Structure 1
Amino acid sequence: MGQLAVRLRYLAGRARKLSPANLAEFTDQVKRVSKAPSAVIIADMLWCSVRYDMGFRDYAVWDIRLLKGRERATWMTHPKSFRITRMLNSAQARPLVEDKPRFYQDFADDIRREWLDVRIADDDELRAFLRRHDVVIAKPTNGFGGGGIDRVTTADIGDVTAWRAGQVAKDQTLIEEVLPQHPDLAAVYPGSVNTVRLVTFLGKDGTFHVIAGVLRIGNGGVIDNFAGGGMFTMLDDDGVALYAGVDKQSHVYETHPVTGVQIKGLRVPMYREAVAMAERLSRRLPQIPYMGWDIAITPDGPAVIEANHNSSVFQMKPTVSGVRTGLLSRYRDATGLAL
C-alpha cells in the first residue's frame, strides 16, 4: 500500500472518531497561546490536517497556530508516524513486541524483573510470587499507552483464587515486580518509574538511528505515560533534559510539582547504556525497524519496559523551547521516506 492510500485511510478513520469534546479541548489548549477566535482555530486545524498531515492534538500540543507555513512543514506528526509503521514495519512481527508475555520471554535477560501470567500460573505459583513482593504492577497482556495499569499492595489480597478470577475478568493478567529506579530519577518523582523513550530506526544497511530521546516523568500517578497524566521533556545526545516538562493538556512544569526538582538540566544516568541496549535489541528485531523503546534506569543499569510497534511522536512546544521547527527532517533522514 502506497503512502497516499495509507494517509487517506488514516484520515478517514480519524474523521469517523472525531469527538466534539476533544475538538473543544484542543481549541481551549490553543487559546492559551493564541487570541484567535475558536472558529479560526478550528478551520486552521482542519487545514493543517490536510496540508501537513497533522492530528488535532499535534496542532494543539506543538503550538502550530503560532507558526508560519514553512515552519509548520518541519513538524513530524502522528499520522506520518503511522505511515512509517504501516510501510516499513512487518505487521506479522507485531506480536513479537505487543504480546507482553512473549516479549518478556524472548528478552528475559533485559527486562530485569520477575513477572507472572496469572492465566497460566497455578494458585501455588501465584501465592509464592505474591509472598515475594510487597507491591506488584498489574497490567493487560496487550495494553498500550499505560492503560489498565494498577499498583497492587499484596497484603491487601485475601483470597488468591478470587483475586485471580477478578484479574482475568478485567483482562489484567500480567503481574510483575516493581523495578527499583536509579536514585537520581527517584528524586525527580518517586511515585512511578520514570522512563526513557527512545524512538529509533534500524536502516537496511545496518545503520542505527536515535531519532528522539525523551524523559517521561510521572505526576501524581503510578505510571509516567503522557496519556496517563505524566509529563515529558526532550533529551540531548548525552541524556540531558533540554527543556521544562509538558503534559498532555499542555501544562508546563519548570519544576516538578510534587518534589520541586528542576526539570531542565536533569541528566539521565547511564543514558549511553540505554541507547546501547536499544540498538542491541533492535538488531534482534530487524523486521520492525521503526520502534519506540521504553527503558527504565535501575541502580544496576537499564531495563527494557516494553517496545512499541507504533511509536508516539515527541517534540517540544515552541513556547517552551523557543525553537519553531520540528523533527521531521530526522525522521526523513533515518527512514529515507519522503514524508
Structure 2
Amino acid sequence: MSPAVAPVRRLKYFVSRLASFNLSRPWGFAKQIAEEQGKWAPGVLADMMIWAAFHDTAYIDFYEADFALLTKKERKTFMTALVQHHLADTLNDPVDVLILENKISFHKRFAEYARREWLDLENSTLADFQGFAQRHPVIIAKTPVGREGKGVFRYDMAEVADAEAFRAELISKGQTLLEEPIVQHPYLAEYCAGTVNTTRVATFFDGEKVHILMGAQKFGRGSVSDQFTWGGFFTMLDENGRSFGPGHTGKHVSKYETHPESGKSIVDFQVPMWDEVVAFLDRAARELPTVPYVGWDIAVGPDGPILVEGNWTPGLYETRVSATGIRTGSRARHKPVLDAAASASSRR
C-alpha cells in the first residue's frame, strides 16, 4: 500500500467507491486498454481493481498513465489523483483555497502577478463595461469558478451591436469575469498563435523554500483554451523547463512529436525565460502560505511571466509510456510535499 494516503482516508475512499460501484465503468476502461494495448480485458480489469483497492489508483489514472504497460515498481513512481487530493486536503486551508478557486478573488489577491486588466461585471457599471470593451476590442469572458477551460470564452466586440444587451447576456450566463487577452511570447506563438499556450507548474512552499514538483507545457489548437476539452495536449518538462518526450492528451491514444498545425517540434521545446518563470513562482507561491500546495498556470509574455491562475488541487500530469517511451513518473520530485503531508497526518 502507498504510505502517502492515511489509512482512515483510504478506508473512507474505499467505502465510498464500494457504495457507488458500477462495474460498467472499470469494464469500459479495461476493454479500451485491451483494445489499444493488445491485452486480455478480464486480466486488465482484475489488475485495475487491485490497484484501485490497494494502491490509491483510480480507474482513469490506471488508463491515462498506461499502468497496464508498466511493472509494479514502475507504477509506484507515478502520482495518482487520490494521492494528490489527499495532499491538497491535508496541507491546504479549506477556507483560503477559495481565493484561488474563485477567479475574481484570485485577481484581487494576485494582481501583481496576473498583470492584465480585468472587470467584475456584477460589481461594475455599463459605462465601465463599455470602457473596457473600447480598450480591448477582443475580450476573454470567464465564469469565476470553473475547471478544465469549460467556462472560458472569447468575444470580438466588433460583432456586438448592443453593449447593454450583451452585458446582460454575459451576466445571465454566469460569465461575469472579463479579462484583457494575454499576449504570449513570440516563441510560444510560433507553436499556436490562436491559443495562449500555458505552462502548468506544481509547487510546494514549506515555509522557507518553494519546491518545484512538476512541470508540464500545454499546447492549444487555436481555440480560446489549451485544455483537453478544447483539443489541447501537453508534454512533461524537466527541471530546466525543457520537454522530455513527445506530447499527448492523456485521454486517448495520441503522440505529438510536432505540433499538428504549426509543425514546430514538441520534443525540442524549451519554456522561454525559464529562469524568470522559476523566480516569479518563487515569489507568487509565498503569497498565500496557508495554501502551500498549488498548481500554477503561467503564460510567458514578451517581457516575462504572467500568472493565469492557481489551482489548489494541482491537476494530474504524468508521462505515458505508449507516447513517450518514458517509464518513470514524477513521484520522486513530490517527496517534499509527501513528507509534509505524512508529518501533518501523524500530528492529527
TM (normalized to structure 1)?
0.92
> Contact 2:27 / 2:45 at 8 angstroms: preserved in 1?
no
> Contact 1:203 / 1:335 at 8 angstroms: preserved in 2?
no
Aligned residue number for residue 233 of structure 1: 235
CA–CA distance in 2 between the matches of 1:285 and 1:59?
A: 33
> How far 1:283 moved relative to its partner?
1.0
* Selected match of 1:212 from 207, 211, 214: 214
CA–CA distance in 2 between the matches of 1:48 and 1:227?
A: 27
Aligned residue number for residue 91 of structure 2: 88
Equivalent residues in 2 for 1:250-261 (5 A)?
A: 250-261=253-264
> How far 1:29 moved relative to its partner?
4.7
> How far 1:234 moved relative to its partner?
1.0
Instruction: Give the counterpart letter for 1:252 in structure 2.
Output: K
> Contact 1:52 / 1:72 at 8 angstroms: preserved in 2?
no
Question: For 1:21-53, what per-residue CA distance to the aligned partner results, in whole angstroms no more than 9, with x for missing partners?
Answer: 764663455235521232322222222111211
CA–CA distance in 2 between the matches of 1:17 and 1:182?
A: 46
* Selected match of 1:101 from 96, 100, 104: 104
Secondary structure of the residue that 2:38 maps to in structure 1?
coil
> Contact 1:29 / 1:250 at 8 angstroms: preserved in 2?
no
Aligned residue number for residue 132 of structure 2: 129
Equivalent residues in 2 for 1:99-178 (5 A)?
A: 99-178=102-181
Instruction: Give the counterpart letter for 1:50 in structure 2.
Output: A
Moved more, 261-270 or 34-43: 34-43
Question: For 1:307-331, what per-residue CA distance to the aligned partner results, in whole angstroms no more than 9, with x for missing partners?
Answer: 0011112111123333322222222
Moved more, 154-163 or 16-25: 16-25
CA–CA distance in 2 between the matches of 1:34 and 1:79?
A: 25
Question: For 1:50-83, what per-residue CA distance to the aligned partner results, in whole angstroms no more than 9, with x for missing partners?
Answer: 1211121211111100112222222110110000
> How far 1:179 moved relative to its partner?
0.4
CA–CA distance in 2 between the matches of 1:20 and 1:122?
A: 52
CA–CA distance in 2 between the matches of 1:131 and 1:120?
A: 19
Question: For 1:255-313, what per-residue CA distance to the aligned partner results, in whole angstroms no more than 9, with x for missing partners?
Answer: 11111111001111111211111111111111111110100000011000000011112
CA–CA distance in 2 between the matches of 1:116 and 1:18?
A: 44
How many residue pairs match? The answer is: 337
Question: For 1:66-114, what per-residue CA distance to the aligned partner results, in whole angstroms no more than 9, with x for missing partners?
Answer: 1122222221101100000111111011122112112112221211111
Secondary structure of the residue that 2:7 maps to in structure 1?
helix
CA–CA distance in 2 between the matches of 1:114 and 1:46?
A: 48
Aligned residue number for residue 190 of structure 1: 193
Quote the RMSD (CA, aligned, Å).
2.2
Instruction: Give the counterpart letter for 2:125 in structure 1.
Output: D
TM (normalized to structure 2)?
0.90
**1:149 and 1:323, CA in 2 relative to 1: closer, same or farther beyond 3 A?**
same
CA–CA distance in 1 between the matches of 2:181 and 2:309?
A: 14
Instruction: Give the counterpart letter for 2:210 in structure 1.
Output: F
Identical residues among aligned pairs (%) = 35
- Structure 2, unaligned stretches of length 5 or more? none
